[in-house]
Chain A
């Protein structure tokens, strides 16, 4: 299990690095799709079928929107001119990334091995959840019964995003 997820993660990293350095914007957007669809395979391997369904449909819709925006404006990225601010940006970012990687490596020494039961309070949610909520799908029971406020907040966020997009683009209704 760990080997297959590592191989897929390596593909995702290669796709992400290509997406940053692509000369053509359309190629960059499609390379972002590699990361999204590789994530679907990882979710299926990690026994999370709910998430795989949501991620594959949402990733397709995101790709459609991004391709439409890129094709409508410009595909061409201007040539990179090397100036001092760019080099200072890169050096500082490399120092920061090295520092963050070192701190992360130190902090996961205290985690359990991959596959051991790390989150210990989940037992209070799993035991008797099927009888307490009445649903056979435990994830749906957790979403709508135990943590209903989070679901309400998420629905409001999606509604606000739809309103915000219509406001930003000045789509007017009936006069």
Chain B
């Protein structure tokens, strides 16, 4: 598919980095302000979708054989399960416990393992939404033979 007009391309060049940075902010401050992993992951996926729609898949050289977002989402959800299982090394016998030190409520580094969960769940949600978008809108199935 081809891209859009020159105004849309210029505005996208200016905006997509800011949206990506905003998504990272919402993920990393998920335990202090409203937001969290799901909201930030969706915003990051939104910035990539804006880039693809504005410039077109021809200009970005998207190939059907290699979908890296599918690899990213698999690795991210694997790391979430590994963090949940890592509580065994700290002596806690429960799956999915909050085992790192808690800290002071309101600081950026606090709340145990919750910021780690936020980051990797955000990565997984962003990659999954990007994979769904690529499969449904850009790489539709081949024409029937």
Contact = CB atoms under 8 A, between A and B. Distances in A.
A and B touch in the complex (CB under 8 A): yes
Contacts of A139: 34, 36
B49 A61 contact: yes
A130 B114 CA distance: 13
A61 B42 contact: yes
Interface in A95-135: 130-131, 133-135
Q: How large is the interface on A (under 10, 10 to 19, 20 to 34, 35 or more residues)?
A: 35 or more
B121 A155 contact: yes
Interface in A42-85: 49-50, 53-54, 57-58, 60-61, 64-65, 68-69, 72
Q: Which secondary structure dominates where chain B touches chain A?
A: helix
B80 A152 contact: yes
A171 B98 CA distance: 39
Contacts of A131: 102, 105
Q: How large is the interface on B (under 10, 10 to 19, 20 to 34, 35 or more residues)?
A: 35 or more
Contact of B105 (A54, A57, A135): A135
B114 A50 contact: no
A137 B36 CA distance: 9
Interface string B106-120: 100011101001100
B46 A60 contact: yes
A166 B70 contact: yes
Contacts of B98: 133-134, 144-145
Q: Which of B38, B105, B121, B131 has the most CB of A within 10 A?
A: B38
Contacts, number: 151
B124 A61 contact: no
B133 A159 contact: no
Given A134-B103, A169-B140, A50 B39 contact: yes
A169 B141 contact: yes
A155 B80 contact: yes
18 contacts: A50-B39, A53-B35, A57-B39, A57-B46, A58-B42, A64-B49, A130-B105, A134-B103, A134-B105, A134-B110, A135-B105, A139-B34, A145-B112, A152-B84, A158-B124, A158-B125, A159-B128, A169-B135
Given A61-B129, A166-B70, 4 more contacts: A133-B111, A133-B114, A136-B106, A141-B111
Interface of A: 49-50, 53-54, 57-58, 60-61, 64-65, 68-69, 72, 130-131, 133-137, 139-141, 143-145, 148-149, 151-152, 155-156, 158-159, 161-162, 165-166, 169-175
Interface of B: 26, 30-36, 38-39, 42-43, 45-46, 49, 53, 64-67, 70, 73-74, 77, 80-81, 84, 96, 98, 102-103, 105-106, 110-112, 114, 117-118, 121, 124-125, 127-129, 131-133, 135-137, 139-142
